[in-house]
Amino acid sequence: MDLLEYQAKQLFHEMGIPILPSQQINHPKDLKGLKIPYPVVLKSQVYTGGRGKAGGIRFVENTIDAVAAAQTIFNLPITGMYPAVLLAEAKYDADRELYLAVILDWSARRPLLLGSQQGGLDVEATIGAMQQVIVDQEFSPFYARRLALKMGLQGELIQSVSDILEKMYQLFLQKDLDLVEINPLAVSPAGELMALDGKITANDDALGRHPDLAALQAKIPNQIKTRILPRDLSETTLVELEGNIGILCNGAGLTMSTVDLVHQAGGRLASFLNLGSEYRHNDSPAVLRDRIQQGLELMMQSKNLKVVLVNILGNVMLCKQTAEAIATHLQRQLDSCTTPFVVRLVGDQFDESRQMLQALNLPLFDDLDEAIAEAISLSNSVLRAK
């Protein structure tokens, strides 16, 4: 989960990382009560980078200009998103701008400190100048000093930048973050440091033990709330495409593979839906039955759906229990649902399951290639019938 700049800065402030005096603006008229002296900078609070280029950051000298600029920014979509909040911040004269970040290095399975003397620009543009230090054991401030030296810092900046990095690292660890970034970290002519912009990405799996971060997400309007309950069925999103076959499957790899097989056999997909593997500690036959039924309901909402292919493999639910879950759901909807189904299941009770589904006119296969051929043939006959 990404935090907005003003939310990230709030966390910086709590950690003792210096930020400028600022004020949250929910409406242009809030600027009339501005407590920060002009000139100020108004910043659109959206998630994407490149806000400056898009016109989402403006400098203003007085209240009249500020209100007009705020109105413009509130009405300016940046990559399709409108800000719900602006941040009004004091203007700062920087002598130099640095880049600092703490991220997870997935391959090394360790935190990674990143830094460069070319702050304030796109990360992609300065990747060549980026220095890195892997925190391979328990963190201690020398890791931060090691980065400061690699960045080419000298004198008092070595210690002051290391202090900021140490605080970023503490935040990273305490809040289970995927990313803490300060870009730019301004250095004033007097050598004072200031976090002018910041980015924080919280880890979705850890949100359950950080209610303060989870609450921040609830506060943000106008954004795509994809993962409020990351392990709930709400995560199971229907991916819609242009064809007419729907795939309901369990596990990301198996879903991708089934999608590929349908495409390779010349089928076109209306949608696909991954029910998730069966590695959640509380998975049980009852939980999986609900998930299948909710998945089927969601699947039936996809546009242009002409055939549904169900491919479920696993061990928590026996073949017959899965067949029953599908049958129960379809019997309930029989009047409204005329979409043909092709089901692929494997297991000891395959023959019993086949008989049960046959009674509902649902063909059951244990071979995936055969099931796909049947689904494609049905989708073609529906097309010809038109």
Partner 1 sequence: MNFTLESKVLVQGITEPLGSIYAPLMQTYSGQILAGISPGHGGQELEGIPIFDLVEQALFSVGTVDTSVIFVPPYQVLDAALEAIAAGIRQLIVVTEGVPPMDMMRLCRIAEASETLVVGPNCPGIIVPGQILLGTHPAEFYTPGKVGIVSRCGTLTYEVARELSQAGFGQSIALGIGSDRVIGSTFQQWLQILDEDEETEVIVLVGKIGSDSEEVAARYIIEAIDKPVVAYIAGRTLPQSQYTGHAGAVVSSQIAGLRDEVGTAKSKIAALKQAKVPVAERPSQLPDLLKQVLRGGTKSSPKKS
**Interface map 154-193 toward partner 1 (x if CB under 8 A):** -------------------x--x-xx--------------
Beta strands of the chain (E only): which ranges? 22-25, 40-44, 57-60, 86-90, 96-105, 110-116, 131-134, 177-187, 193-195, 198-202, 239-240, 245-249, 269-274, 307-311, 341-344, 364-365
For partner 1, give the closer residue by CB, 192 or 352: 352
Closest CB to partner 1 among 66 and 343?
343
Distances (CA, A) of 43 to 49, 70, 92, 120, 223: 12, 9, 14, 15, 17
* Cα Rg, the chain, nearest whole Å: 27
Among 28, 83, 111, 246, the residue binding partner 1 under the rule CB under 8 A is: 111
Which residue type occupies 82? Y
Nearer to partner 1 by C-beta: 91 or 150? 150
Binds partner 1 (CB under 8 A): choice among 140, 284, 355, 358? 284
What residues between 192 and 251 interact with partner 1 by CB under 8 A? 199, 201, 203, 205-206, 208-209, 230-231, 239, 241, 250-251
CB 111 within 8 A of CB 135: yes
Using rule CB under 8 A, residue 117 touches partner 1: no
Binding partner 1 by CB under 8 A: which of 149, 158, 346, 356?
346
Q: Answer yes or no: are the C-beta atoms of 8 and 2 closer than 8 Å.
A: no
Work out whether 110 is an interface residue with partner 1 (CB under 8 A).
Answer: yes
For residue 214, the minimal CB distance to partner 1 (Å) is: 13
Write a three-state SS string for 95-150.
Answer: CEEEEEEEEEECCCCEEEEEEECCCCCCCHHHHHHCEEEECCCCCCHHHHHHHHHH
- Are 21 and 36 in contact, with CB atoms under 8 Å apart? yes
Residue 67 or 130: the one with the smaller Cβ distance to partner 1 is 130
- CA 64 vs CA 28, 31, 69: distances in Å: 10, 9, 9
CB of 281 to partner 1, least distance (A): 5
Query: CB of residue 357 vs partner 1: minimum separation in angstroms?
Result: 20
Q: Which of residues 23-82 bind partner 1 (CB under 8 A)?
A: none
Choices 141-149, 188-196, 278-286, 293-301; region in contact with partner 1 by CB under 8 A:
278-286
Nearest distance from residue 316's CB to partner 1, in Å? Answer: 6
Helices 156-174, 141-150: crossing angle, 10 deg rounding: 130
- Closest to partner 1 by CB, 95 vs 205, is 205
In angstroms, the CA 275 to CA 50 distance is 36
How many residues touch partner 1 under the rule CB under 8 A: the total is 63
Please give the backbone phi and psi of residue 270, each rounded to the nearest 5 degrees, phi first.
Answer: -85, -35
Q: Which part of the chain contacts partner 1 (CB under 8 A), choosing from 3-11, 131-139, 300-308, 378-386?
A: 131-139
Handedness of CA 148, 2, 67, 22 (dihedral sign): negative
Beta strands 245-249; 269-274: pairing state: parallel
By the 8 A CB rule, do 236 and 271 touch?
no
Minimum distance between the CB of residue 353 and partner 1, rounded to whole angstroms? 15
Among 55, 253, 297, 381, binds partner 1 (CB under 8 A): 253
Sites of contact with partner 1 (CB under 8 A): 101, 103-107, 109-112, 114, 123-124, 127, 130, 132, 136-137, 173, 176, 178-179, 199, 201, 203, 205-206, 208-209, 230-231, 239, 241, 250-254, 256-257, 259-261, 263-264, 277-284, 287, 313-316, 346-348, 368-369
